[in-house]
Amino acid sequence: MTAAVLEIDDALATYDPVLGLEVHVELNTRSKMFCGCPTEFGAPPNTQTCPVCLGLPGALPVVNARAVESAIKIGLALNCEIAEWCRFARKNYFYPDMPKNFQTSQYDEPIAYNGWTEVVVDGETYRIEIERAHMEEDTGKSTHIGGATGRIHGASHSLVDYNRAGIPLIEIVTKTIEVPGEKAAAVARAYVSMLRDLLFSLGVSDVRMDQGSLRCDANVSLKPSGSTTLGTRTETKNVNSFRSVERAVTYEITRQAAVLSSGGKVLQETRHWHEDTGITTSGREKSDADDYRYFPEPDLVPVAPSREWVEEVRATLPEAPSLRRARLQQEWGFTDLEMRDVVNGNALEPIVATVELGVTAAAAKKWWLGELARAANESGQELDALGVGAAEVAEVQKLVDEGTLNDKLARQVFEGLLAGEGTPAEIIEKRGLALVSDDSALIAAIERAIAANPDVVEKVNSGKPAAAGALIGAVMKDMRGQADAAKVRQLLNEKLGI
């Protein structure tokens, strides 16, 4: 299964990669694109179907207005023009899980076109031109039974689930992307990741790559360095994670480079991505002669969104994620590196929520990124699956601010929270974690420390007040950490007359 590849550096020394990315987004509308069937994920097979999405003889589609609104939102968020008048077309081809054997899609008249967006990679901003965003319907889902690989090859029979058939899809197509070769794969990943955040912020999709609600097809071609003639492209289908997008693009660059440098020809074809082995394999050979026999869908009247409506939708758009991030970074006073850690740690939203409860950004970041993200990482969980929310974090920080907890004790409270031991108050109670605020107990401990460390006292008295740190440490140890260090220092200073 291994194919000859060049090292990426060697590949990029000779060839410039050109990318084109097609992202399919399943919208989270409650009903399907052309009928009233529900769209819930994971329902028993073929329970969410009707004559329309099953393509039964006589059934007719009707456009879902909410899906059109979502398409407009996406178009606007990608700085596209929104068509004043557009149509659906039929894309005719055969597939057993496509009920009508044509897909109702948009062809030469998409709802949104000519847009752009930006992604940031290593502090560098790259502009991505958007060709179009168009509406279409999803197909059913085939499961091939009896083969070793789950693919149709070798299977004894196939089962088809039409629950997914007719779920609204938006296909977002970039123009060709030419970025410095060594950044190509990272830009591809950053673009898909940016789209995920954008679509999430718009509320139009669940953007779950693992459930297929966000799917990326990566087109890659190579041209000799400095050349302006585009090479033959391959289309790697349905890459299903950000990391895989980056790996698949890198793999295709190295594979195509190997083919070209050995005098071969890159075939125009679709390719399958293999997550486990990290390679692509040949799928269907695809030529420009593919004839879908597009023509305007006669069962649907044209879609003509009024300008008023488009403006209403524009007014509801949330702040773009990239702008929002820049604003928050400034408000919080984080460095670029800090902000990137926060984003990569998926801690942005929890920190926003915690700050909204009155906690400083620095403190919120300390707990979410330092304590909780680490715990999530260790247990292989998502941050939002830990069972600790912004409210708990804010409460712990409040106790720190009041002097009931110090950082060390607070960490133990988080430990308790992660173990499901109850509320912060209950954990403090159960574990006996509160700071000792009784002065006489502290003074007694200080006296013990002074008695046990005459040499240190000597140093302090001889004009080296910094040496008192050792005494504070001894007191804290004596108090098993449950003392307010500032208070101890104050009392010690009084005692020693500093």
**Residues found near other proteins in the complex (CB under 8 A):** 51, 54-63, 90, 92, 94, 96, 99-102, 156-158, 160, 289, 291, 293-295, 298-301
Task: For 70-119, give the DSSP string.
Answer: HHHHHHHHTTPEEPSSB--EEEE---TT-TTSEEEE-SSS-SEEEEEEEE
Cα separation, 382 vs 367, whole angstroms = 15
Whose Cβ is closer to other proteins: residue 36's or residue 180's? 36
Cα separation, 487 vs 464, whole angstroms = 20
137 closest CA partner among 271, 286, 35, 238? 35
Task: For 302-333, give the DSSP string.
Answer: PB---HHHHHHHHHHPPPPHHHHHHHHHHHHT
Contact 355, 397 (CB under 8 A): no
Whose Cβ is closer to other proteins: residue 263's or residue 298's? 298
Whose Cβ is closer to other proteins: residue 91's or residue 271's? 91
- Cβ 151 to other proteins, closest distance in Å? 14
Whose Cβ is closer to other proteins: residue 62's or residue 486's? 62
- Cβ 83 to other proteins, closest distance in Å? 18
C-alpha dihedral, 330 to 336 to 339 to 343, nearest 10°: 130
- Cβ 93 to other proteins, closest distance in Å? 9
- Cβ 156 to other proteins, closest distance in Å? 8
- Cβ 268 to other proteins, closest distance in Å? 16
Whose Cβ is closer to other proteins: residue 52's or residue 492's? 52
Whose Cβ is closer to other proteins: residue 44's or residue 58's? 58
What does the H/E/C string look like for 149-214? CCCCCCCCEEEEECCCCCCEEEEEEECCECCCHHHHHHHHHHHHHHHHHHHHHHCCCCCCHHHCCE
Cα separation, 477 vs 497, whole angstroms = 23
Whose Cβ is closer to other proteins: residue 301's or residue 419's? 301
- Cβ 369 to other proteins, closest distance in Å? 51
Structure tokens that stand for 492 in this block: 């010690």
- Cβ 18 to other proteins, closest distance in Å? 25
